[in-house]
């Protein structure tokens, strides 16, 4: 090899004299020191070039450099073509290994993880089946027998058919027809399971989970349907049970699919549209009739959860109503086929959480996440606009409107009062099994009373101000149409685009919204959504239940506008958790960010550190199961349906069973066996035992009638409703 020095800036030309047809066998580096500078160049495998450009030049160090002639001519310091590029020969003849690369480290780490995983898996499969339980009991103490095992020891066996009715979002949905972006997903779960498609193709997933904004039915070219069978809602996601624990315990005493039925339905649709599109109500009617017939005429026990409670209220009116609007079962159908209805976490009168979800696509958890990472959910992260897409999607689901507060200010309170006015968010609750006449609020608030009737307040000062100081400016007359000054939101359309700046400011200037005003507010900010909802749901109180207008299906899921069936032997239970702070009212602010497409946010800075305060992160909390306030879950069974009333003309017996929340003591207990949380209560052993005793032939007296820990009876007495 020869080298010629040429006068080129930043470049050294090297002349080579290759043999004809010669090729380098390996890719290697050459280096030399010339006039104190270290130069390096690299030859790639291939035909030998006549010149190679300089690829590295190193500034000389303070130490004296080796003369160029020695560096270039020292054959021992040069790497031979046949040597590996990762090894360099030292002057003493030893070969030094190359530097440990990042790829090597990653491969080593993955290998260690895999080996460790397989080793632990081998140990797990090799050990006795009882060993995990032995370890758990050694740490937590002896575990109680599951209810199924306990009742089996008592000799109880399957008797009455059991029907499960899942709530909103807990039932699986699968794809039957979709757009091109959903190729390969036929009969794959879009909702429930692993949610893998959310991560792979989020915008395609949003498109297929949305309904038509005009009709509330399937968009053109898309068919998403409910998964059928017990697997539809046994687990929401792998490892996250919903109905699985109850099903497993019932199986211990002889239940199986012939006497258990999961009434799965597309929970996005309005209740009547599940019948129009899928005949879900008809299939439920037929399944109940078949099970009662095959079980020797033993009536069914119905177990609805969450929104499934409202769905079954609708069913009881539908099944008795004449065709074509109803199922044509006649006025005695419920008396003939239903033994008991055991409602779990029942939002009979709606939930304030639904207001926040439809108004600003957030609730307490989302608001706190926004406060922790300001701007993350508001900006165009990965071009997904998360909350905007969430709002657009959920506003096409008619079912969300079924859970808006019902009964207006009469039930939920006004500017200066609410049924839970004396509630305090601190202090341990004492067990209270008193009758309605003896019951009282178990705690006395030491802090300033909360105006829970103000479901939405713009500003903390407004939430606490006396009614005389609040001056409302009516938003209904605000002019719409002025464009929102944010063009980045146009690809994620929400009805806020049609409001204009004037309409948005008018909403904030109205300052306070009670339950009556909230419905007007949503009619103003989302008129298309509420127009669809008006065809299927109603939120008032009936003056005359015999008025023919209440025979329309839009009233059937509102217990304040319908009568219970004529079934005096039937029993109705309300089973729900207490002892968990639950969203009741909100403090809002105008969003000043120019990047946000949603102009209103919960004011998370409105917070009080006092442990007795119910205000946390812009949300006033009250007693409940974290989703449904006690007032909504308990009022109907505590007062409106208690005894013979105009809402319960046949005097169906009603019971309240409250379960005080007790979180798991450690991770080994999972989600706990004494939880009162809205979904986790499905694994509460006491609740499961109550359901099983009724299903095996017991009644309300056999399980202790009322079990109350909250102030529901006193709060109910404060509601002035004609009964």
Known catalytic residues are 306, 625, 678
Number of Cβ within 10 Å of residue 178's Cβ equals 20
* Sequential DSSP letters for 233-274: TSEEETTEESSHHHHHHHHHTT--TTTEEE----TTS-HHHH
Handedness of CA 706, 710, 711, 715 (dihedral sign): negative
Tell me if 309 sits within 8 A of 346, measured CB to CB: yes
DSSP state of 144: P
DSSP three-state, residue 375: coil
Q: What is the 3-state secondary structure (H, E, C) of 392-441?
A: HHHCCCHHHHHHCCCCHHHHHCCCCCCCCCCCCCCCCCCCECCCCCCCCC
**Alpha-carbon span 564 to 647, nearest angstrom:** 6
- Residue with structure tokens 């309605």? 436
Of residues 656, 16, 598, 37, the one with CA closest to residue 348: 656
* Residues constituting the chain: 723
According to DSSP, residue 99 is labeled P
Separation between Cα atoms, residue 447 and residue 612, nearest integer Å: 7
What is the rounded end-to-end Cα distance, in angstroms, of the chain? 107
Q: Peptide bond preceding 485: is omega within 30 degrees of 0, i.e. cis?
A: no
Q: Rounded to an integer, what is the distance from CA 283 to the centroid of its chain?
A: 28
Give the residues across from 40 on adjacent strands. Answer: 31, 56
Cα(404)–Cα(117) distance, rounded to whole angstroms?
48
Q: How far apart are CA 233 and CA 246, in angstroms?
A: 12
For 107, 117, 354, 531, the CA distances from 121, given in Å and listed in that order, are 21, 6, 44, 56
Q: Residues 562, 317: contact at Cβ < 8 Å?
A: yes
Of 712, 717, 584, the C-alpha closest to 655 is 712
């Amino acid at each position: 090899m020869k080298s010629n020095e040429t006068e080129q800036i930043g470049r050294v030309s090297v002349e080579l004299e290759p043999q004809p047809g010669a090729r380098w066998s390996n890719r290697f580096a050459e280096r030399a020191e010339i006039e104190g500078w270290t130069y390096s160049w690299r030859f790639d495998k291939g035909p030998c070039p006549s010149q190679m450009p300089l690829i590295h030049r190193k500034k000389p160090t303070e130490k004296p450099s080796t003369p160029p002639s020695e560096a270039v001519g020292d054959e021992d310091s040069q790497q031979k073509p046949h040597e590996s590029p990762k090894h360099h020969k030292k002057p003493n003849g030893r070969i030094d290994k190359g530097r440990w690369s990042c790829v090597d480290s990653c491969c080593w780490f993955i290998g260690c993880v895999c080996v460790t995983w397989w080793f632990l898996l081998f140990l797990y499969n090799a050990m006795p089946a009882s060993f995990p339980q032995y370890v758990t009991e050694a740490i937590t103490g002896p575990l109680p027998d599951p209810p199924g095992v306990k009742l089996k020891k008592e000799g109880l066996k399957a008797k009455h058919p059991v029907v499960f009715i899942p709530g909103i979002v807990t039932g699986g949905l699968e794809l039957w027809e979709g757009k091109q972006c959903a190729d390969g997903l036929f009969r794959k779960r879009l909702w429930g399971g692993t949610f893998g498609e959310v991560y792979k193709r989020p915008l395609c997933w949003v498109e297929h989970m949305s309904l038509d904004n005009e009709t509330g039915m399937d968009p053109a070219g898309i068919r998403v349907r409910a998964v059928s069978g017990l697997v539809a809602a046994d687990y929401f996601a792998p490892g996250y049970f919903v109905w699985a624990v109850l099903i497993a315990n019932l199986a211990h005493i002889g239940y199986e699919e012939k006497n258990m039925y999961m009434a799965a339905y597309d929970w996005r649709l309005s209740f009547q549209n599940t019948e129009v599109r899928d005949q879900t109500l008809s299939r439920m009617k037929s399944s109940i009739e078949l099970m009662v017939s095959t079980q020797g005429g033993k009536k069914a026990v119905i177990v609805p959860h969450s929104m499934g409670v409202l769905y079954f209220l609708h069913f009881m009116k539908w099944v008795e109503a004449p065709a074509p609007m109803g199922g044509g079962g006649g006025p005695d159908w419920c008396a003939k086929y239903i033994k008991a209805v055991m409602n779990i976490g029942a939002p009979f009168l709606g939930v304030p959480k639904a207001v926040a979800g439809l108004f600003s696509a957030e609730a307490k958890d989302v608001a706190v996440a926004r406060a922790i990472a300001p701007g993350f959910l508001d900006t165009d992260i990965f071009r997904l606009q998360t909350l905007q897409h969430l709002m657009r999607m959920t506003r096409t689901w008619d079912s969300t409107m079924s859970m808006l507060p019902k009964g207006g200010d009469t039930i939920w309170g006004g500017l200066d009062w609410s049924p839970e006015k004396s509630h305090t968010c601190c202090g341990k609750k004492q067990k209270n099994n008193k009758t309605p006449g003896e019951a009282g609020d178990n705690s006395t608030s030491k802090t300033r009373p909360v105006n829970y009737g103000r479901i939405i307040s713009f500003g903390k000062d407004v939430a606490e101000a006396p009614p005389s100081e609040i001056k409302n400016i009516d938003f209904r007359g605000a002019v719409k149409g002025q464009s929102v000054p944010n063009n980045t939101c146009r690809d994620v359309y929400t009805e806020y685009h049609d409001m204009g700046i004037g309409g948005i400011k008018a909403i904030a200037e109205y300052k306070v919204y009670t339950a009556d005003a909230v419905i007007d507010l949503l009619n103003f900010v989302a008129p298309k959504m509420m127009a669809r909802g008006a065809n299927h749901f109603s939120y008032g109180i009936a003056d005359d239940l015999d008025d023919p207008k209440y025979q329309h299906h839009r009233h059937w899921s509102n217990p304040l506008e319908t009568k219970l069936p004529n079934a005096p032997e039937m029993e109705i239970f309300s089973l729900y958790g207490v002892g968990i702070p639950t969203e009741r009212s909100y403090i809002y602010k105008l969003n000043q960010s120019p990047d946000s497409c949603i102009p209103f946010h919960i004011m998370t800075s409105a917070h009080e550190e006092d442990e007795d305060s119910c205000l946390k992160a812009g949300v006033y909390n009250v007693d409940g199961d974290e989703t449904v306030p006690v007032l909504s879950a308990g009022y109907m069974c505590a007062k409106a349906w208690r005894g013979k009333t105009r809402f319960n003309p046949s005097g169906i017996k009603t019971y309240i069973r409250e379960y005080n929340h007790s979180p798991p003591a450690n991770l080994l207990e999972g989600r706990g066996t004494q939880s009162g949380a809205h979904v986790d209560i499905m694994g509460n052993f006491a609740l499961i035992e109550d359901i099983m005793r009724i299903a095996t032939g017991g009644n309300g007296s056999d399980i202790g009638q009322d079990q109350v820990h909250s102030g529901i009876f006193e709060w109910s007495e404060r509601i002035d409703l004609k009964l």
